């Protein structure tokens, strides 16, 4: 591993061909940063230097099996390899991925992305068998998984170390488009690479093809042009106070596209829950919904001159879950909950999650052209 900071400071449109940051008057800052900071040519380097010891690199290994011929069972016959007996099946463990994370406590708690713990190899999901944490000073530790939350893509690890330097959380609610931000992580496998740019948006949704109850709920991502590459996943998005604005999570595929981070205020709740219980408990009803517009007019009652129903279409339900118990079936169209119209799956999910577990919801739906009223009770789902 490299111990140097690899500074990759992409200032976008902030610099012209002959211009640069100069010492002296400070640039206007948002309320999310210290306005007393003098933004000169060394400021970004200073912030990165302070924050870097709190950032870690992750090396993810997986186990597998393969057939191997024993050399003593191989005979060279006229240039042809002839094998006696059956190949031996041997187990192996190999590095399969890189990632990043950051330290949140002196005794070794580390935050990263959950998707790093389950890799896709040869179109199959493979669970990480070993997670090696490399500190800024090059020391290596094997991490224990404290807990993970696939819905938010957050995991908490723990290493047996003391006197580590934790990084502090920022208040991400104060973030504004145009604020400056840094990334530090194992970009493309090069550890502690620094990126610099701006926040381009503060409330972006992640498109999801098939998710039970749109599991991320009300999670809205920070969009940024601070550099995020493969290997940055799980690392911090940092403000000019050296605090964590968010957890870098994913990037768009198109060239020069932005990256996305899980906001600090959202992440803190998830992390606290994982540390306390090993998982995140959310009220849920076990249902997979689609907007009514996706149903291709399946509920268009043109025969009776009625307008197409608007609501949320039940694509799938969890067997034995709350929706199943309530009598909701795949193919139903939910139009109201507690007397209020439901326009999209996110509205439905937000309503369920904004109420305590075991809340009773009055659901109005259509099954074909038949209107039904059902009672739905939320639960904690594993």
Q: How far apart are CA 197 and CA 199, in angstroms?
A: 7
Per mean pLDDT, which range of 83-87, 309-313, 319-323 is the poorest?
A: 83-87
Q: How far apart are CA 247 and CA 236, in angstroms?
A: 5
CATH 2.40.10.120 residue spans of the chain: 1-63+90-280
Residues 198-219 pLDDT 10s = 999 998 876 553 444 444 456 7
Residues 125-159 pLDDT 10s = 889 999 999 999 999 999 999 999 988 899 999 99
Instruction: Please provide the CATH number assigned to the domain covering 1-63+90-280.
Output: 2.40.10.120
Residue 182: closest CA among 132, 222, 137, 139: 222
Q: How far apart are CA 375 and CA 62, in angstroms?
A: 45
Q: Tell me which residues are annotated as active site.
A: 115, 153, 233
- Percent of the chain with pLDDT strictly greater than 70: 74
Q: How far apart are CA 341 and CA 349, in angstroms?
A: 13
115: left (phi over 0), alpha (psi -120 to 50) or beta: alpha
Residue 6: band (very low, low, confident or very high) from pLDDT cuts 50, 70, 90: very low
Residue 123: predicted pLDDT: 77
Q: How far apart are CA 347 and CA 236, in angstroms?
A: 30
Q: Could you give the C-alpha distances from 17 to 13, 27, 39, 59, in angstroms and in order?
A: 10, 19, 19, 39
More confident residue, 14 or 33: 33
Longest dimension (CA), the chain: 83
Which residue shows structure tokens 């597998």?
A: 64
Fold annotation for 283-380: Pdz3 Domain (2.30.42)
The encoded tokens of residue 134 equal: 């490399």
Residue 154: closest CA among 92, 93, 235: 235
The encoded tokens of residue 90 equal: 């041997």
Indicate if the pLDDT at residue 374 is higher than 90. yes
More confident residue, 287 or 210: 287
CATH 2.30.42.10 residue spans of the chain: 283-380
Residue 79: predicted pLDDT: 59
Residues 80-102 pLDDT 10s = 655 555 667 766 677 778 899 99
Residues 39-66 pLDDT 10s = 554 588 999 999 999 999 999 998 877 6
Region 280-296 average pLDDT = 82
The pTM for the full model equals: 0.70
Residue 168: band (very low, low, confident or very high) from pLDDT cuts 50, 70, 90: very high
Residue 25: predicted pLDDT: 33
Other CB atoms within a 10 A radius of the CB of residue 128 amount to: 20
Other CB atoms within a 10 A radius of the CB of residue 16 amount to: 8
């Amino acid at each position: 591993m490299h111990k140097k900071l690899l500074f990759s400071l992409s200032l976008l449109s902030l610099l012209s061909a002959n211009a640069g940051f100069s010492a002296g008057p400070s640039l206007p800052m948002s309320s999310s940063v210290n306005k007393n900071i003098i933004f000169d040519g060394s400021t970004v380097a200073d912030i990165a230097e302070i924050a870097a010891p709190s950032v870690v690199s992750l090396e993810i290994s997986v186990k597998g099996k393969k057939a191997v011929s024993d050399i003593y069972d191989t005979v060279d016959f006229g240039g042809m390899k002839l094998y006696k007996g059956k190949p031996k099946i041997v187990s192996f463990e190999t590095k399969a991925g890189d990632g990043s994370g950051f330290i949140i406590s002196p005794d070794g708690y580390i935050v990263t992305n959950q998707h790093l713990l389950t890799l896709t190899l040869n179109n199959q999901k493979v669970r990480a068998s070993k997670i090696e944490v490399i500190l800024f000073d090059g020391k290596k530790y094997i991490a224990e998984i404290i807990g993970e939350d696939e819905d938010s893509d957050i995991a908490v690890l723990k290493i047996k170390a003391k006197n580590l330097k934790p990084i502090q959380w920022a208040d991400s609610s104060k973030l504004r488009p145009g604020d400056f931000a840094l990334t530090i992580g194992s970009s493309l496998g090069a550890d502690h690479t620094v990126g610099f740019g701006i926040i381009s948006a503060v409330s972006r949704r992640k498109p999801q093809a098939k998710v039970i109850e749109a599991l991320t709920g009300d999670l809205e991502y920070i969009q940024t042009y601070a550099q995020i590459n493969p290997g940055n996943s799980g690392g911090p998005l940092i403000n000019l106070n050296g605090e964590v604005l968010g957890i870098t999570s994913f990037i768009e595929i198109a060239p020069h596209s932005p990256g996305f981070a899980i906001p600090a205020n959202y992440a803190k709740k998830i992390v606290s829950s994982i540390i306390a219980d090993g998982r995140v408990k959310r009220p849920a009803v076990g249902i997979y919904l689609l907007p009514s517009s996706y149903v291709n007019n399946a509920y268009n009652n043109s025969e009776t001159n009625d307008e197409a129903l608007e609501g949320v279409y039940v694509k799938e339900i969890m067997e034995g879950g709350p929706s199943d118990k309530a009598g909701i079936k795949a193919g139903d169209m939910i139009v109201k909950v507690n007397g209020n119209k439901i326009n999209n799956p996110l509205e439905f999910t937000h309503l369920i999650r904004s109420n305590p577990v075991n809340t009773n919801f009055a659901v109005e739906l259509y099954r074909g052209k038949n209107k039904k009223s059902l009672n739905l009770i939320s639960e904690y789902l594993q």
